[in-house]
Amino acid sequence: MRNLKHVSILLVFCSHFLSAQPTGYSFGKSMETSSSQVSGSTDLIDFPVFLNITDPNLRSIANGGHIQNVNGYDIIFTLPDCVTPLSFEIEEYNAVTGNLIVWVRLPALSSSINTSFFMYYGNSSVTTNPSSASTWSSNFDGVWHMDNDPSTSTLTDHSGNGVNGTAFGSMTSADLINGKLGPAIEFDGSNDYFALATKSFTNSGEISEVSVSAWINTTFSSNAMSSNWAIVDFDRSEYFNIFVHGNGRLGFSTRGSSINDSYAGAIGDLNDGNWHYVVGVYDGTDKFLYIDGVLSLTVTNPHGGASLGTGLNRFGFIGDGSEASTFNGNRNNKYYDGAYDEIRLLNSALSTDWIATEYNNQNNASSFISVTEELSATDLCLILPIELGIFNAQATENQRVILTWNTFSELNNDYFDVQRGQDGLDWEVIDVVSGAGNSIQEIQYNSIDYSPGRTTNYYRIRQVDFNGQYTYSPIRIVSPITTSRISVYPNPTNDFVFIENSTNELNSSLGIYNELGQSMLKRVDILQLSTNKLQLDLSKLSNGIYLITTGCSITRVVKR
């Protein structure tokens, strides 16, 4: 009997519509997030999505593009109805290159269907900055892009709360460097820091929930926990402090009735000279520490369910530790040695799904959001080309993958590209299927991949209409059925897994991946018990489903 691995998901798309473009705008582009990059099963509400594109169409008029304002002020974003405006913040715009770095607040970001929104530009009447602090919901107490020249300007808080930073030490314009998301600020480890204005904590138990996130880059190394302080510090002894331990681990200290110091990751994880996304969360009961979008440590009820804070007045710092009862008051004089990009302080507990999605978006914005070719603003708001129903992917025992999909209606539908990738980032066209052109009947389509990769395969369909406009389907992930030559046990497991076989396959291409396709190998301790037997320690991994690969064998392991 033929055995099929079957994935079937019903996709809900908007009905056809016709709407007028925003008044005065000449051009536009359609943008779409990839649902496969959004973690979880529920919508993420009021998500500030990150977009970093360089596009010749976005150059100024003088540089051959279609942007009328040299500051990019004639750029706006709407929902796909063409009329509902979206809050956004332009972080950087380069009129010569057409580079745009912008944050757009999406009312709901879906993990089941791609989320679409529109960008319009080319309006000569706009002369004021359309950026809005409402890009950031009321959960954000501070948003620092770390893009100000520290020698001449204030470190701007973009949340609208006015928690701006003032630079101290010996910072120069040269400390504004290229970062992970755009500009970033480098700290010398000797006397550089920012003192945060207007924000202080004054009451016992004032903090019921808190989250701090940042992109960090450092090579500093020592054995002292306080030698490389701090990302954001409102006094470890009184409220909280998140920092990089001198040995390269992530530290998160919180104060309830007593101090709890927690450390995540292995020694050397964070001081390797690469950019890393780190997050510390306290949800009123438990603490969670994340590294590069993955939950690295859970501390269960360290404060007996109590809120944080002793009641002493404390102001905050970026780049040093706080003992300050006044703005720029007493400090620990520890000083961070490295660079920071995009630091945020929230008065709520970020979820695991939010953090994983934020990492996916910021780590590789081009794979998170697809952008169409330029259209006239009028054409962008014309009727949608197709109404897509179900897209299925099935792996068979004879090493093939069968793809099927259907449409309920079509308008000017030219063809479908069937695309395959090995990592969800790079794609190749494996088949072209002609569309029906125009139809109001349900039509079934199919394609067969006769040569899928030996491990995980990613599939998507690009629908192209006659004028060249195109959209992508959600991504389907399929692993070919193979006869495994390895034994993996126990499965499910709590901590340890043993891998055993009678060949030398264990010595080839051992890999461990989470459900997002991220390698977990650095977080797993491996012990060679014999020539054909390994012991894997999964205790540092969070509960979930993982893929263990050796050569051409793939085994799903459940960690509980």
Domains and CATH numbers, the chain: 5-132+367-478 (2.60.40.10), 140-347 (2.60.120.200), 487-559 (2.60.40)
Here the tokens at position 300 are 């269960």
Exposed, middle or buried by CB within 10 Å (0-12, 13-18, 19+), for 392? middle
Q: What does the alpha-carbon distance between residue 364 and residue 51 come to, in Å, rounded to a whole number?
A: 10
DSSP string computed for 452-472 = --SS-EEEEEEEEETTS-EEE
* pLDDT tens readout for residues 1-52: 333 333 322 333 222 334 457 899 999 998 999 999 999 999 999 999 999 9
Q: Which amino acid appears at position 255 of this protein?
A: R
Residue whose structure tokens are 């009021």: 46
pLDDT (0 to 100) of residue 16: 34
pLDDT (0 to 100) of residue 485: 57
pLDDT (0 to 100) of residue 275: 98
Here the tokens at position 278 are 């780190």
Residues 6+ apart with CB under 8 A from 99: 52, 53, 54, 58, 92, 93
Q: Which amino acid appears at position 185 of this protein?
A: I
Q: What does the alpha-carbon distance between residue 279 and residue 288 come to, in Å, rounded to a whole number?
A: 8
Percent of the chain surpassing pLDDT 70: 91
Q: What does the alpha-carbon distance between residue 339 and residue 219 come to, in Å, rounded to a whole number?
A: 10
Between strands 308-310 and 204-207, the pairing is antiparallel
pLDDT (0 to 100) of residue 507: 54
What separation in angstroms does the CA of 339 have from each of 156, 231, 533? 17, 10, 43
Q: Contact, 439 vs 421, CB < 8 A?
A: no
CA dihedral 142, 143, 146, 151 (to 10 degrees): -50
pLDDT (0 to 100) of residue 2: 33
What separation in angstroms does the CA of 375 have from each of 32, 62, 560? 15, 20, 50
How much is the pTM? 0.68
List the chain pLDDT tens, one digit each, 560 residues. Answer: 333 333 322 333 222 334 457 899 999 998 999 999 999 999 999 999 999 999 999 999 999 999 999 999 999 999 887 888 999 999 999 999 999 999 999 999 999 888 889 999 999 999 999 999 999 999 999 999 999 999 988 999 999 999 999 999 999 999 999 999 999 999 999 999 999 999 999 999 999 999 999 999 999 999 999 999 999 999 999 999 999 999 999 999 999 999 999 999 999 999 999 999 999 999 999 999 999 999 999 999 999 999 999 999 999 999 999 999 999 999 999 999 999 999 999 999 999 999 999 999 999 999 999 998 888 888 787 645 566 778 888 887 677 888 999 887 777 788 999 999 887 678 899 999 998 887 767 788 999 998 888 778 889 898 888 777 788 887 888 876 654 457 888 988 888 988 887 555 555 567 887 766 677 888 899 888 887 888 989 998 888 888 887 755 667 888 88
pLDDT (0 to 100) of residue 516: 67
pLDDT (0 to 100) of residue 175: 97
